[in-house]
A and B are shown apart, each in its own frame.
Chain A
Amino acid sequence: MQYALMIYTEPGYFETLSEADRAEVRAGFDALAADRRRVVGAQLQPAETATSVRVTGGRMLITDGPFADTKEVLGGFALIEAANLDEALEVAAAIPAARFGGVVEVWPVVAR
């Protein structure tokens, strides 16, 4: 099965970490990038750089920023292939954001 791991982080949190913790965070994301179960993924630019688009009555409405306004913002995502939810949860738990003030959501992907 494929799962989308949505990685939410608190902006500025990384900067508050010690050098050792920062090294651990980088190593954790490197490990995810190298994981053979990862199909695709990306780290996102800060939320201030995001733009929302919606189309009503044929007109494109453009607004600044992401839709949600919470403390934690979407900081990246990964699409992974896993045997079942338990394996997907394990991959998610290994993502540094899960233990450094963020959260990782695990969503099953619609099979096509």
Chain B
Amino acid sequence: MLASLVGYLHDFDKAEEATQEAFAIAAERWPASGVPDNPGAWLVTTARNRAIDRIRRERTLAEKIHLLPVPEAVMDEFDDTAIKDERLELIFTCCHPALPLEGQVALTLRALGGLETAEIARAFLVSEETMKRRLSRAKAKIKATGIPFAVPAAHLLPDRVDAVLAVIYLIYNEGYSGRVDLAAEAIRLGQVLAELMPDEPEALGLLALMMIHHARRRARFSGEDLVLLDDQDRSLWDHAQIAAGRAALDRALARGGHGAYVLQAAIASLQAAEPIDWPQVAELYRRLADLTGSPVVELNHAVAVAQAGDPAAALRAVDRLDLDAYLYFHSTRGELLRRLGRDDEARAAYRRALELAASTAERRFLTRRLAEL
């Protein structure tokens, strides 16, 4: 409801006010007059009319607000289909690259996810006051700098879609490290985006990626301990969610998708299969590395090569990478050296990884590996 109103009014504060007013009117009238046939549409229409009244009043006072030409709204029209879905325009506004990234994330969760400011603050471990400031700064910039409430022109669209996907994936990854509600929220946002842009394979790819990863969250930890893919208890996986993720992936592939999110989703899908087709995983990482040029992806490619049966080739590839400050570079080297029977070097690599480990779970995992050598 908030999303629809912000999209319609092009003003976050007015939309929030109008939404509250509409709920207040409903609380007053519905007990006496009964709940209307379509309560959602009634609320949106009422909120719109309230906002329009308010804008008209303000216009007579000052003409500083220049909004859209205000269309006539009729109270009796409670038809859902008549209410245009403005969420897509709103997504592009919230994820405009001219806004600071943290502001984009907060606005997206507030306006599209419908989260309360206090909830967003808790999720990002900042005070509510800080989050309030972050949101109002972002809203003020939208207004002052004329960030449009519109789907970008075709030639700008690919870059801007990337920006939207990046924000949703960032929200997902915040949740991935323990705060599960944000991950679920990101999946909901991914579903909305995939619904609103049904022909955008990367939107489907991101949705598939998040769903397949999220489906394994319960198997990823055993108490405090990290559990690697190989050792995960598959009965803890959410198989329905994996199937839903694969269905999204199939749709992405059917639309010719071959971007970074589609590739990562395809890899996640292969890794959720039994047995895992490691040569195929390695091939997909190869393509992803070509696409992104990322040494971290190269590292993952090497892991897949080792799993496919060639740890020596994998180690040669790893040793070419410049990732000395990266924990998983050293833990991967340790694992490969261990498999090649080079235990002393393996120990040294694990020790270096341990120095870089930030979380307790990581430290415990590496300490165990060291003890096993």
**A contacts, CB < 8 Å to B:** 1, 3, 82-86, 88-90, 106, 108
Contacts and interface: CB of A to CB of B under 8 A. Distances in A.
A38 B153 CA distance: 21
A86 B145 contact: no
B279 interface: no
A84 B144 contact: no
Contact of B148 (A3, A86, A106): A86
Contacts of B146: 1, 3, 82-85, 88, 108
Given A1-B146, A86-B148, A90-B156, 5 more contacts: A82-B146, A84-B146, A85-B146, A86-B150, A108-B145
B118 interface: no
A23 B178 CA distance: 56
B259 interface: no
Interface in B90-113: 96, 98
16 contacts: A3-B146, A83-B146, A83-B148, A84-B146, A84-B148, A84-B150, A85-B96, A85-B145, A85-B147, A85-B148, A86-B148, A86-B153, A89-B98, A106-B145, A108-B144, A108-B146
A85 B147 CA distance: 5
B295 interface: no
Most chain A beta-carbon neighbours within 10 Å: one of B144, B146, B150, B153: B146
Contacts of B96: 85
Most chain B beta-carbon neighbours within 10 Å: one of A82, A83, A85, A89: A85
Contacts of A82: 146
Contacts of B152: 86
A106 B152 CA distance: 18
Nearest to A86: B148
Most chain A beta-carbon neighbours within 10 Å: one of B145, B153, B156: B145
Main SS at interface, chain B: loop
Contacts of B147: 84-86
A82 B148 CA distance: 11
B147 to A, nearest CB: 5
Nearest to B96: A85
B5 to A, nearest CB: 20
Interface string B150-171: 1011001000000000000000
A4 to B, nearest CB: 12
A94 to B, nearest CB: 12
B174 to A, nearest CB: 27
A33 to B, nearest CB: 23
Nearest to A1: B146
Contacts of B156: 86, 90
A3 B145 CA distance: 8
Nearest 3 Cβ contacts at the A-B interface: A84-B148, A1-B146, A84-B146
A81 to B, nearest CB: 11
Contacts of B144: 108
Contacts of B145: 85, 106, 108
